[in-house]
Each structure stands twice: as C-alpha cells, then as structure tokens.
Structure 1
Amino acid sequence: MKRAIVLRHLAFEDLGLLAGVLSDARYEASYREAGIDRLSDIELASDDLLVVLGGPISAYDEAHYPFLADELRLIEQSVRREVAVLGICLGAQLLARVLGARVYPGSAKEIGFAPVRLTEEGRAGCLGILERAASPVLHWHGDTFDLPRNATRLAATDITPNQAFSLGKRVLGLQFHVEADPASIERWLIGHAGELAAECVDPRYLRVEAQRHGDLLAKAGRAVLAGWIEALRS
C-alpha cells in the first residue's frame, strides 16, 4: 500500500473529507504533528504522497516557529524527487515558498463560504467540479502568495488572485479548504473562536452556511480530491 504522510498543525484541521478519498485510493495515511514529530527521517517514494495541511501561523515565520524550516526542507525534497505534494492553506503557502514565490499578508482576511473563479486550466482539471456543481468553498486565511514561477494559476477571488496553482500534475496548492468536512464545522468555530471575534465574524452565520451547503460541499470536495489523485495515476 502507498503512503500518505500528512503534516498537521492543528488537531481539528485534519484530513477531513480527504481521509476517505485516500483510503479508497489505497493510501495508508499517517499524521506528523508540527513542532512535535521528527521530519528529518521521512523518506518518500515516488508513488507516495505528501499532504501539508492548514494552520494559523505564517509560512514565513521560522523565527517564532523553527519547525517550519524542517517542513520547508521536506516539501523541497519531495518536489525535487517528484513525490506528489498537496498543500492546503498554510500548506499551499509553504509550497509556494519552496517554489521561490513570496508569501505575505493579504489585503484582507477571507473567512467564510464563497465560490472561486476558475481559470481555463482550472476548469479543465479536478477543480472543474466546483464550477459545474456551483459549489462554494471554505475560505479561512489572512496571508497570500505570488504565483510561483512555471506554475499554472487555477483559481482566484477578488481579494486573493492566487487561490490555487499547480506545477505539472504532481504538485497542487489550494489556498481554500476543500478537505474541510462541513459536518465538523463546530470544531473550527471553537478552535478559531479568538480569530472570529477579532475579525467580527459571527460563528452563527458560518454554522448556518455550513448546514445550508453541507451536502454540496462534501460531494464537491471529495470529487476534487479524488480527481487529483486519479490524475496522478495517468
């Protein structure tokens, strides 16, 4: 069975919908906890997968969070060895840094459920289901990044021009959260309660939106993730 090594920064920002997709694709997933677990002894084969999940810290803040240097090193090694890499939110920002792009505070925080605008390349790939299903996604970020050199822009919003990018078919960065299970939104609302209060975002609104879009979000999210993993086999 192939391995999926998952870098996790917060307990509740886990694989979510991706867990079942990985199992169906016969990946054995195991978490590595940021700042706790040793990363230097991880050696991934070309048919393995590296998933880097989200978190509330900045991808450029090694001074306060030194373990980020180890994550950047592992991501760089994986890309160089042509291991498939999926970066989500903070994970996408770290991936962008590894690929030489600048990561920095965005013009405003994006928190809530809203659609993304797909590019032509985005429509042609695994993200196309989002537009066909008219599905929003969960946004929860303050930082953003420039498009890495040689990467393909896949999606944008008014606030964040670079919402998703790919480098070939084995590297995918998503600023938004297609992996988040709407049925588990309460964990996010509790875990990020301080940030929601600081940004004057009403958790009751997010709860209602998660319930309203739940079935559509879950179906579309699984389809996006399954589509990307399926493309790795071609």
Structure 2
Amino acid sequence: MKSALVIRHTPYEGIAGFRLPVEAAGFAIDRVDVTDPAFPALDLIAPDLVVMMGGPMGVYETAAHPWIVHEVERLAERLAADRPTLGVCLGAQMIAAALGARVYPGPVKEVGFAPVLLNDAGAGSPLRHIAGVPVLHWHGDTFDLPDGTELLASTPAYRHQAFRRGDTLLALQCHPEMGLDPRFDAWLDGADAYVAEAGTDAARLRAEHARLGADTVAAGRRMIADWLDGLPG
C-alpha cells in the first residue's frame, strides 16, 4: 500500500474527517507527534503522502518550540522534491514558510463556521466541493502567498485561505476535516478568551458544530478525495 504520514502538532488536532478519503485512496496511515522522540529522525521525503495538521502555536514561535525550525527545513526538502503534501491551518502556514513566505499574526482572530470565497482558480479546483459550505475557522495568523503557488480561496478577513502548487500541494487555512470529531471539545477547553476575541463563545461554537458539522465533513471528504484522485501516478 501507499504510505501516508500524518504530522500532529498537538494531540487533539488529528486527521479527523480526512481519514476516510485518504484510506479509500489506498493509503496506509501512520502518524507522529512533533513531541515524539522519534520525530527528529523521520524522513519526510519517503512517505507517499504527508498530511500536516494544525496546532495552537505560530510558525514564528521558534524559541518556545525549537522543533519548528527543523520541521520547516525538512518540509522544504520534501516540497523541493515535489512530493504530495497536504497542510491544514498551522500545516498550511508551515508549508508557506517552507516555500520562503512570511508567516505572521493576522488582523483578527477568525473562529467559527463560515464558507470560504473561491476565486476562479478555486472554482476549478477540488475546493469546488466546499463552495458555499460553512467550514470551521480557528486561526489568528496568516502568511504571504508563496512564489510559484496559486491562490484558491479567501475570506473578508483573510485573503490567503487556500493555495496549491500544481497537483501535488494543497494548503488550507480552514478546517474542512472538522465537524464530527469529539476532540472538538479539547479545542474549546480553556479557549474562552481566544474565541471571545473573535466575537463568539464556546456555546455558540458547540451549536454550530452540532448543526453544521456533518455537512462540513461530507464536503471536505469530497474535496480531499478529488485532490487525491488527481495526484500523479
């Protein structure tokens, strides 16, 4: 079978709803936490697919998280080899950094379920499956669009919501994998101040998750299945 490595930056942000389409595409999934002693020695070029998930830290917080520098360096090697790579939220920001773009605090906290706005390129990409679908946003950082990539989606607060490079690289600032994962409670735990900055609260987010989550995940799965189907060879 083909191999897929899921990189987790925190235990409660895993592959979630994307597991089903990745396995259906014939990938055997393994995962590693960045805190695992084995992580520094892992070969990030070897897996047939790398899926980089989210986390509460910023790419620029290297003093607090020294592993970030090493991860970005090895990710850059994978991207230089044009190996299939998917990034979600922090994972997308890591990809941007590995491609030489700046990652920095955004203008506001963007938290809650809302659709992304697809441009013409996005409407012709696998993101068409999430057109008009409220997806989870949970971020306060943004990035410059890396050279050689194509912007696919935006929101009013964050112009750079998704980008791709050819058929092998897809980066998503939002979380179309979330909506059915019970670990969402861990996201909310202790996050009152953070979500309040975004003008929402835990009760509203739980209600959105319960009401919208199943449709979000269904659309996200169609998107990832479409992207995986377009990978070379």
For the aligned pair, the TM-score class normalised by the smaller chain equals over 0.9
Matched residue of 2:146: which SS? coil
- How do 1:82-161 residues align onto structure 2 when only pairs under 5 Å count? 82-131=82-131, 134-161=132-159
Between the aligned partners of 1:24 and 1:176, the Cα distance in structure 2 is: 23
Q: How many residues of Structure 1 are paired with residues of Structure 2 in the alignment?
A: 232
Deviation of the 1:73 alpha carbon:
1.9
Task: Give the drift of 1:183.
Answer: 4.6
Flag structure 1 segments of 5+ consecutive residues without an equivalent: none
- Between the two proteins, what is the percent identity of the paired residues? 37
Structure 2 unaligned spans of 5+ = none
**Counterparts of 1:161 and 1:199, CA distance in 2:** 17
User: So what's the TM-score if we normalise by structure 1?
Assistant: 0.92
Is the 8 Å Cα contact of residues 129 and 222 (structure 2) preserved in structure 1?
yes
* Correspondence for 2:62: 62
RMSD, aligned CA: 1.8
Q: 2:219 aligned with 1:220, yes or no?
A: yes
Alpha-carbon shift at residue 6 of structure 1 (Å): 1.2
Aligned to 2:231: 232
Structure 1 pair 124–63 and aligned structure 2 pair: CA distance change class (3 A): same
Q: TM-score, normalised by structure 2?
A: 0.92
Please give the secondary structure, in 2, of the residue aligned with 1:176. coil
Instruction: Tell me by how many angstroms 1:31 deviates.
Output: 1.3
Q: 1:75 to 1:112 in 2, by over 3 A?
A: same
1:11-53 deviation digits (Å, cap 9, x = unpaired): 1111001111111111111111113243343335677011111
Shift of 1:188: 2.4
1:27 matches 2:13: no
Cα pair distance change 1:44/1:101, threshold 3 Å: closer
